[in-house]
A = this chain, B = another copy of it.
Amino acid sequence: MTINLRDRRRRQTARDIQQAALRVALQAGYCAATTDAIAAEAGISPRTFFNYYPNKTAAVLGQPPVLDTQAGAWIATSEAPLVDDLVRLLGQMLKDDSPDRQTLRMIERLIETTPDMQILFRKSLDAISFALAGLLQARLGAHRALEADLIAAMSTHALANGVRSWAADEAMDLDGVLDMTRDQLRSVCVLLG
């Protein structure tokens, strides 16, 4: 149990720091929220803050979901329609992550007051996009590398749109996010002819 217990504590502390960061940032504004103030709010030393997060942005956004490329390798050989496979894969990831609505709402509010945060939010999803692009390239072939990249970027983008709606709408569940993601991708295809 030793490792798990420590890890659990670590994750809890990381979450506490994120909550503190969001509270301070929402109250004082993102730029005015110094790492010192966040550390104070979280009840840790300024130095410890950087043991948990490399920078202020990471602390505010927390750890984004991770796309497990091992567990998603099936997509390379699947013969189901691509959109369905994409949504299935992203759904797998989303449920592993089980995001916290309250936290996401605070992030939402912060983005409203600090539009620059939106770019940082997207950036935090780039790791997913990159991993997904790799999987898609395995499916589509190296000659479709650029397209794989585009589809990956658009899919994570669509998922992010869905998650933001989910955070705002109490009545929505995670499957609703996936439905929304699928709808967006299909609509784009139709619109682009």
Contacts and interface: CB of A to CB of B under 8 A. Distances in A.
A66 interface: no
Interface stretch (A67-75, A88-96, A147-155, A166-174): A147-155
Nearest to A153: B157
B154 A158 contact: no
A151 B192 contact: yes
Interface stretch (A6-14, A27-35, A40-48, A183-191): A183-191
Interface residues of A, number: 28
Contacts of A119: 123, 126
B158 A150 contact: yes
A109 interface: no
A114 interface: no
A191 B158 contact: no
Contacts of A158: 146, 150
A142 interface: no
Contacts of A191: 82, 140, 144, 147, 151
Interface in A82-136: 82-83, 119, 122-123, 126
Contacts of A184: 146-147, 150
5 contacts: A82-B191, A144-B187, A146-B161, A151-B192, A153-B153
